[in-house]
Chains A and B, each alone.
Chain A
Amino acid sequence: MTIGLEHYLVLSAVLFCIGLYGALTKRNAVIILMCIELMLNAVNISLVAFSRYVVPVLLTGQVFAIFVMVVAAAEVAVGLAIVLAIYRGLADIDANNINLMKW
C-alpha cells in the first residue's frame, strides 16, 4: 500500500485530538502547554503534507509551517514565563486553583 496524502492527514488529526484531549483535561499548567505544542505539531504535519502532495514545487505549505514554528516558540516562551510568575505568587500551577480573575 502506497502512502498518500490521506495517511498524513489522518495521522495529523489523531495527533491533534490527543493534544486537544490533554489540553482540556489536564490540571498542570506545564502539561497544558505541552499538549498545545502537540496540537501545533499536528497542524505542521498537515501543512507539510499538503505542500508535498498538492503543490510540490511551490513549497507554500512549508513556508507556513516555518511561521507556525515561530509563533510556537514565542508562545511557549511567554507561556512558561507566565507559569513561573504564577508559581512564584501562588506556589501552585494547578489550573483549577488559578482563579484570581474568575468572577
Chain B
Amino acid sequence: MGLAAAFWIMAVVIVAAALGVVFLRNVFRAALTLVLCFVAVAGLYITLSADFLAAVQILVYVGAISVLIILAIMMTREVPQGSPANRLKLPAFIVAAVVLGIMIYTVTKTAWQVSAEAPLTPTTVPLATKLFSEGGFVLPVEIAAVLLLAAILGAIVIAREK
C-alpha cells in the first residue's frame, strides 16, 4: 500500500516536472524542474529496491549534471530568447503521441514473465560482484573508464579559450 502511494506520488511529480522542463518559458526555471524530476526518479528507484542506483542518481544527476546545465545556462545568459519552440510543433506532437500510443499498446498487450522472487537488498555488494567479478562486466567497465577520460579531454579541448 505504501509502495503504491509512493509510486503514484513519484509518477505525478516526474510527469509534472518533465512537462515543466518542456513548457516553462524561463530557461533557469526549466533547469530547476529538471532537478526536481531527477530527485523524483531517485525516489522511484527506491520503490524498485534499487538503493545503490538511487544514491548514484542523486550524486551524478542531481549533483553533477544539473550543476553543469545550470552553469551552461548562466554562461549563455545574454541570449534574450527564453525557451521558444520552432515551427515543427504540430508534427513533433503527432510523432510523440504516435510513439507513446505504440509503446503503451505494446507494454500493456505483452505477457511479461514476471518473477515472483523477492528482490535483493541491499544491492551494493551484488552489483559490485556483477561488475567486477570474472565472467561479469569487467570489460565494459574498463571501456566506460576510457569513454569518460575521452569525454573529459574532449570537453576541455572544445570549451577552452583559444
Q: Given A20-B99, A70-B148, A34 and B86 touching (CB < 8 A)?
A: no
A100 at the interface (CB under 8 A from B): no
Residues of A within 8 A of B147 (CB): 70-71, 74
A residues 10-32 in Cβ contact with B at 8 Å: 10-11, 13-22, 24-28, 30-31
Interface of A is mostly: helix
> Contact: A81 with B154, CB < 8 Å?
yes
Residues of B within 8 A of A57 (CB): 117, 119-120, 126
Q: How far is the CB of A3 from chain B (nearest CB, A)?
A: 5
Interface range for A: 35 or more
Contact of A15 among B14, B64, B65, B108 (CB under 8 A): B14
Q: How far is the CB of B39 from chain A (nearest CB, A)?
A: 11
Most interface-central of B18, B60, B103, B159 (chain A CB within 10 A): B18
Contact of B21 among A38, A58, A71 (CB under 8 A): A38
Residues of A within 8 A of B92 (CB): 20-21, 24-25
Q: How far is the CB of B20 from chain A (nearest CB, A)?
A: 10
In the complex, A32 Cα to B15 Cα: how many Å? 17
Q: Given A11-B11, A54-B112, A56-B118, A48 and B79 touching (CB < 8 A)?
A: no
> Contact: A53 with B154, CB < 8 Å?
no
Q: How far is the CB of A65 from chain B (nearest CB, A)?
A: 6
